[in-house]
Amino acid sequence: MNTSAASPSVLALSGGIGGAKLALGLTQAMPPESLLIVGNTGDDFEHLGLHVSPDLDTLMYTLSGKADPEKGWGLASESWAFMQALEALGGETWFQLGDGDLATHVERTQRLRAGEHLTEIISDFCRRLGIASRIVPVSDDPVRTIVETPDGDLAFQHYFVRERCQSTVSGFRFQGADAAQPSPFFLEALKAPSLQAVVICPSNPFLSIDPILAVRGVREALQTCRAPVIAVSPLVGGDAVKGPTAKNLRELGHPVSATAVANYYRDFLKGFVVDTRDKATVPEIEKLGLTVEVADTLMTDLESKAALARIVLNFSQRCER
């Protein structure tokens, strides 16, 4: 892996589709080769004998402009011959794998079996996709989100896709997180003198960010990081843009508000960006000791993603450590 690249000036933590949108915005608002993105791997799973890494793939496809614009995951203008053939054989088709996307899983699985680490594989895929920013998994060791429900545990994709998030969540566990080694690129970036800001992207705090924070040493490294840590609220108008964030907040006994998310991250946070529709929460978030920025956080096209990224980067300069 090219370890001689300039040490990053911005580090982003991302999971899911919302996170990838801001990551793309950041590549438009700064020199992309100075951006390091740490991707969640709690959603990873073995499926049909393949290692699937949804959040890393969503980052790769989004940053290379190849992601399906409607779904946010998988590739645009995909063909589905494999899924149709699998269906005819009675195979599992609840998790939709397009023909192009299938190549990513097959090649990644082959390389993992040959002993290559996920970090190197993703780095090579990014190079081939022409992505200038670096995407790394939070760890090369397995971290798997387990969804606890009154009817028992669910693997993440069974909860998220097969059950369509219908199950009532009583908690989450991150199997392997306490034994996993954090990515050295991640920890080194947090200590690099060149680091200007750490950005917690507008991802689901429980499903996408917590699995990253749960890896041994990560939360402490963020708490002691010299550069300001900024989070962008995943809620707009007190509700999730997409996905179960609002439902999860309720199920875990939190108010469904930007304040609740700011409070959830506050032990390592310096600044918080709320959507204009939630500006009434500013005083209560400031009472938590955080600096607050109000912005239009709804990212509907490339320009709005870049605009939000510029606001976040300028805001981070105002958040002295």
**Distance in Å, CB of 56 to ligand FO1, minimum:** 8
Nearer to ligand FO1, 17 or 290 (CB): 17
- Asked if residue 229 lies in contact with residue 266, where contact means CB atoms within 8 angstroms, the answer is no
Q: Which of residues 160-219 bind ligand FO1 (CB under 6 A)?
A: 160-161
Candidate residues 27, 119, 157, 297; the one interacting with ligand FO1 per rule CB under 6 A: 157
Nearer to ligand FO1, 32 or 72 (CB): 72
Nearer to ligand FO1, 132 or 161 (CB): 161
Nearer to ligand FO1, 160 or 272 (CB): 160
The count of C-alpha atoms lying within 13 angstroms of the C-alpha of 56, restricted to the half-sphere facing its C-beta, is 29
Of the candidates 262, 260, 256, the residue with the CA atom closest to the CA atom of residue 244 = 256
Nearer to ligand FO1, 9 or 203 (CB): 203
Nearer to ligand FO1, 109 or 196 (CB): 109
Q: Which of residues 12-41 bind ligand FO1 (CB under 6 A)?
A: 16-17
> Which residue type does 252 have?
L
Measured distance CA(26)–CA(127) in Å, rounded? 18
Give the C-alpha distances (Å, rounded to integers) separating 199 from 9, 22, 190, 294.
Answer: 11, 9, 12, 16
Stretch that binds ligand FO1, among 157-165, 179-187, 295-303, 306-314 (CB under 6 A): 157-165
245-274 footprint of ligand FO1 as x/- string (CB under 6 A): ------------------------------
Of the candidates 200, 213, 182, 175, the residue with the CA atom closest to the CA atom of residue 19 = 200
- Asked if residue 170 lies in contact with residue 209, where contact means CB atoms within 8 angstroms, the answer is no
Kindly give the pairing relationship between strand 171-175 and strand 144-149.
Answer: antiparallel
Q: Which of residues 87-126 bind ligand FO1 (CB under 6 A)?
A: 95-97, 101
Measured distance CA(58)–CA(175) in Å, rounded? 22
> Which residue type does 222 have?
L
**Distance in Å, CB of 147 to ligand FO1, minimum:** 12
Q: Which of residues 125-144 bind ligand FO1 (CB under 6 A)?
A: none
Query: Which residues make Cβ contacts (< 8 Å) with residue 178, sequence separation at least 6?
Result: 214, 216
Nearer to ligand FO1, 58 or 123 (CB): 58
Under rule CB under 6 A, how many of the chain's residues touch ligand FO1? 16
Q: Which of residues 42-81 bind ligand FO1 (CB under 6 A)?
A: 43, 54-55, 57-58, 73-74
C-alpha dihedral (209, 50, 22, 166), degrees to nearest 10: -60
As given in the structure block, the two tokens for residue 5 are 């690249």
**Distance in Å, CB of 192 to ligand FO1, minimum:** 28
**Distance in Å, CB of 16 to ligand FO1, minimum:** 3
- Asked if residue 118 lies in contact with residue 52, where contact means CB atoms within 8 angstroms, the answer is no
Of the candidates 53, 58, 43, the residue with the CA atom closest to the CA atom of residue 211 = 43
**Distance in Å, CB of 200 to ligand FO1, minimum:** 16
Interacting residues toward ligand FO1 by CB under 6 A: 16-17, 43, 54-55, 57-58, 73-74, 95-97, 101, 157, 160-161
